[in-house]
Amino acid sequence: MTKILVTGGLGYIGSHTCVALSQSGYTPVVIDNLSNTDIRIKARIESIIGQPLAFQKIDLCDSAALSTYFEQEKDLQGIIHFAALKAVGESVDKPLLYFQNNIEGLINLLTSKSPSLPIIFSSSCTVYGESAQQPLQEDFPFQKAVSPYGSTKQMGEEILQFSAGKNNQGSVIALRYFNPIGAHSSAQIGELPKGIPQNLVPFLTQTVAGKRDKLSVFGHQYPTPDGTCIRDYIHVMDLAEAHVSALERLLNKKNKSPFEVFNIGTGKGCSVLELIHSFEKATGEKVPYTFAPPRPGDVTIAYADTTHAQKVLGWSAKRSIEEALSSAWNWEKQQ
């Protein structure tokens, strides 16, 4: 029984990763402070994987509780670290909350765990900032972060890069996510934004479900073919499976250095209007939208060069954007 700690494991990407871990024969165990998810997700994950899921409500900023946890959980083989705040807009309004939660939480985790435990770190394409050069490659330099959220991901990678492999610290792989969308095919788990969704796809599905009046398309005069921003939308299950591939690289000691980084995207750019049309084609539903001013902090284009993950991790995205959008709609209809 290879037990893997999943911090933030009841969250959107964390819950899907628990399913992928279990389907690959691993035993996920979860700590989560439930600040951005719902305890009901635990039973949903259990119904998908067909076995109990060990869970403790712990905040990574509570270093005493975290130390006690690691004293009790002796036979962990690895950690996948999701637990962090991740709303770009909110981070601009509450920078100190983001730096404290995301950085203090990471440092508590690193100093409380048994040092040699390897870690998969949840990073983000946000670390690249605004880049004229596309698709984005792992060795592109960081541009200055445009939000505290993006800054915490850049700082997180730097903390891990300088600490991995030293003083008996285990190895680390950072996965730079592009735009995760969609839900598990069972529609038992999916994206559960609290309040008004910040991200495009949950706002779109809530609009089509009649919970929102209309979708605002933030900006349509960008220097792109149809004037709207381009992103790399990846099915959340493809993203979850990438974590298992990265974990196995560390467990089997295949990594070439103590700190490695991989882009996790589809390698395909998709504009906001193209996504809307893909959703309408995939579901037969109409998306009511209007054009609105650009959103501060948005980059024009961000999509992944995925050759490093394909060649080195042996991973690539398998699911289409239509499949991801259909699964997002099926999940929305369950709410």
Catalytic residues: 149
Nearest distance in Å: CB 258, ligand WQD = 24
- Pick from 59, 62, 248, 298: which binds ligand WQD (CB under 6 A)? 298
Let me know: does 275 contact 268? Beta carbons within 8 Å: no
Let me know: does 191 contact 200? Beta carbons within 8 Å: no
By beta carbon distance, the residue nearest ligand WQD is: 229
Nearest distance in Å: CB 203, ligand WQD = 4
Burial class (CB in 10 A: 0-12, 13-18, 19+), 316: middle
Does 291 sit near ligand WQD (CB under 6 A)? no
Coil, helix or strand at residue 57: strand
- Pick from 36, 37, 179, 224: which binds ligand WQD (CB under 6 A)? 179
Does 198 sit near ligand WQD (CB under 6 A)? yes
Query: Which of 245, 258, 291 minimizes the C-alpha distance to 171?
Result: 258
d(CA 56, CA 143): 37
d(CA 59, CA 51): 25
- Pick from 176, 184, 231, 268: which binds ligand WQD (CB under 6 A)? 231
C-alpha distances (whole Å) from 224 to each of 228, 230, 271, 277, 297 are 6, 8, 8, 16, 17
Q: Per-residue contact track with ligand WQD, 134 to 173, x per CB under 6 A? A: ----------------------------------------
Which is closer to ligand WQD, CB of 160 or CB of 217?
217
Which window, 46-54, 103-111, 166-174, 216-224, contacts ligand WQD (CB under 6 A)?
A: 216-224
Which is closer to ligand WQD, CB of 131 or CB of 169?
131
Query: Which of 37, 71, 80, 79 minimizes the C-alpha distance to 57?
Result: 37
Which is closer to ligand WQD, CB of 79 or CB of 88?
88
- Pick from 84, 174, 229, 309: which binds ligand WQD (CB under 6 A)? 229
Q: Per-residue contact track with ligand WQD, 50 to 89, x per CB under 6 A? A: ------------------------------------x-x-
Distance of CA 195 to the CA centre of its chain: 19
Place of tokens 């765990």: 113
